[in-house]
Amino acid sequence: MRRQWVEGLVMAAGLFGAGTRGGAAETWIDLTHPFNADTIFWPTETGFQFDPGNNGPTPKGYYYAANRFTTAEHGGTHLDAPRHFSATGQTTDEIPVDRFVGDAVVVDVTAKCAANPVYEITPDDLVAWEGEHQRQFVDVIVLLKTGWASRWPDRKAYLGTELKGAEGVANLKFPGLGPEAANWLAQQRRVKAIGIDTASIDHGPSTHFLSHQVLCGANIPVIENVAALDAVPATGAFVVALPMKIAGGSGGPVRIIARVTD
């Protein structure tokens, strides 16, 4: 029993570093932006607030730290639970945990987004990916790579505006998943979840958030503001993306990581 316990500790200790699996080298990559004063939130939100406690040595000689934080559900690397845009959609705590764990595929549209900063990913983009890689979007976590993560945490470069409130929302400029592509994924394929490296699954100029409506209506979880997709291959990665379990929530902060095997 003690030997099994020690082996478990060794495996856990090596989880996020380089290691081996079946003789192949593997690396765990953090796809999460840190939560701090620079964290980007929607223009109508106040952002992340971290309040340090009275941290330091105690009269009894040991060190003690306990802080507080305040945050909106939707900001930084976070989950959009289906309830976000569906009155009958699953809340954060109701989503089956296996939707957040599994094989991942990366759809790279950075060239098209560089040419058009409000580009909407189309069904043709997705069909072309399947043809190139000979794999359908079935039982996978789909990660959409627009290249926008490289702009973080420059708010103006990332959102297209530094304005706040309704005026800021009206001036948003970044790529997203087009409604037709969202509907194709929801109706023609079977995905576990969808992630994107922008502030919203809908592109910046959206006013009705149709891709949100489609995906949330189909109980497909969405993860926004994903980081470091440059380090994840088109196929072969394994992703874990666990959100804070907020009862009745419409979303929440996510720690998303990917295992890449060489």
CATH number at residue 97: 3.50.30.50
Does some domain include residue 63?
no
Question: N- to C-terminal Cα distance for the chain?
Answer: 33
- Number of structural domains (the chain) is 1
pTM of the predicted protein model: 0.91
Does some domain include residue 257?
yes
Please tell me the predicted confidence (pLDDT) of residue 193.
Answer: 98
| 243 closest CA partner among 79, 54, 28, 43 | 79
Give dist(CA 1, CA 146) in Å, integer. Answer: 48
Running along the chain, 262 residues long, what does each successive block of 10 average in pLDDT? 42 51 83 98 96 97 98 98 98 98 98 98 98 98 98 98 98 98 98 98 98 98 98 98 98 98 84
Give dist(CA 241, CA 257) in Å, integer. Answer: 6
C-beta atoms surrounding 22 within 10 Å: 6
Q: Is the separation of the CB atoms in 54 and 201 below 8 Å?
A: no
HSE toward the beta carbon, residue 72, CA cutoff 13 A: 14
**C-alpha Rg value of the chain to the nearest Å:** 19
Does some domain include residue 66?
no
Does some domain include residue 2?
no
Please tell me the predicted confidence (pLDDT) of residue 73.
Answer: 98
Does some domain include residue 59?
no
Please tell me the predicted confidence (pLDDT) of residue 25.
Answer: 87
Does some domain include residue 224?
yes
In three-state secondary structure terms, 102 is: strand
C-beta atoms surrounding 169 within 10 Å: 18
Contacts of 81 (CB under 8 A, 6+ apart): 89, 90, 91, 92, 94, 95, 216, 221, 243, 249, 250, 251, 252
Domain extent, residue 180, equals 16-44+72-261
Please tell me the predicted confidence (pLDDT) of residue 125.
Answer: 98
Please tell me the predicted confidence (pLDDT) of residue 2.
Answer: 44
Please tell me the predicted confidence (pLDDT) of residue 13.
Answer: 42
Does some domain include residue 208?
yes
Does some domain include residue 65?
no
Please tell me the predicted confidence (pLDDT) of residue 1.
Answer: 47
Please tell me the predicted confidence (pLDDT) of residue 231.
Answer: 97
User: From residue 34, how far is each of 38, 71, 114, 117, 247 by CA, in Å?
Assistant: 9, 13, 25, 24, 23
